[in-house]
Amino acid sequence: MTAATQWTGKAEQGELAEIARQIREDIIDMVWNAKSGHPGGSLSAAEILTCLYFREMRIDPERPDWPDRDRFVLSKGHAAPVLYSALARRGYFDPAYLPTLRQLHSPLQGHPHLGSLPGIETSTGSLGQGGGVAVGMALAGKLDGKDYKVYTLWGDGELEEGLVWESAMAAGHYGLDNLIGIVDWNGLQIDGGITEVMNPEPIDAKFIAFGWHVETADGHDPADLCRAMDRARGVKGKPALVLCKTVKGKGVSFMEGEGGWHGKAPDEAQWRQAIGELGGKAQPISPEEMKALVAKACEAIPHTELRAVASDDGAKVASTKVSPYVIYAKGGEVAQGPATREAYGSTLADLAASHPQLVVLDADLSKSTMTAEFKKVAPARFFNAGIAEANMTCMGGGLAAAGKTVFVSTFAMFAAGRSYEQILNTIAGSGFNVKIAATHAGLSVGEDGMSHQMLSDIALMRSVPGLQVLAPADAAEASAMIRYLADHPGPAYIRLGRAKAPVVFDSAIAGPDYDPGQIQILREGGDVTLAACGVMTGIALEAADLLAAEGLGARVLNVSSIKPLDTATLIAAAKETGAVVTCEEHNVLGGLGAAVAEVLSETCPVPVLRIGVQDQFGQSGVPGSLLKLYGLDKEHIASLAKKAIAMKEVPAG
| Residue pLDDT, tens place only, 254-289 | 999 999 999 999 999 999 999 999 999 999 999 999
Position 107 scores a pLDDT of 97
Q: What percent of the chain has pLDDT over 70?
A: 97
Neighbouring CB atoms inside 10 A of 56's CB total 21
Backbone angles phi, psi at 555, to 5 degrees: -85, 125
DSSP class of residue 145 equals T
Position 651 scores a pLDDT of 55
Q: Which of 622, 621, 636 is nearest to 584 (CA)?
A: 636
Position 313 scores a pLDDT of 53
* Separation of alpha carbons 13 and 11, rounded Å: 6
* Separation of alpha carbons 360 and 405, rounded Å: 8
> CA torsion, points 298, 301, 306, 308, in degrees to nearest 10?
120
Backbone angles phi, psi at 378, to 5 degrees: -140, 65
- 221: which residues sit within 8 A by CB, 6+ positions away? 47
* Separation of alpha carbons 609 and 643, rounded Å: 9
Residues labelled catalytic: 389
DSSP class of residue 444 equals G
Position 4 scores a pLDDT of 79
Position 440 scores a pLDDT of 97
Inter-residue contact 133 to 176 (CB < 8 Å)? no
Tell me the domains of the chain and their CATH numbers.
13-300 (3.40.50.970), 330-509 (3.40.50.970), 520-648 (3.40.50.920)
Q: State whether residue 641 is helix, strand or coil.
A: helix
> CA torsion, points 394, 396, 397, 401, in degrees to nearest 10?
140
Position 329 scores a pLDDT of 82
Inter-residue contact 77 to 124 (CB < 8 Å)? yes
Inter-residue contact 163 to 390 (CB < 8 Å)? yes
| Residue pLDDT, tens place only, 564-615 | 999 999 999 999 999 999 999 999 999 999 999 999 999 999 999 999 999 9
Angle between helices 567-577 and 592-603 (to 10 degrees): 70
**Cβ burial 616-644 (10 Å sphere, 16+ → b, else e):** eebeebebeebbeebebbbebbbbbbbeb
Q: What is the pTM of this model?
A: 0.96
Give the residue ranges of the chain where pLDDT is below 50. Answer: 314-315, 653
Inter-residue contact 352 to 374 (CB < 8 Å)? yes
* Separation of alpha carbons 490 and 434, rounded Å: 7
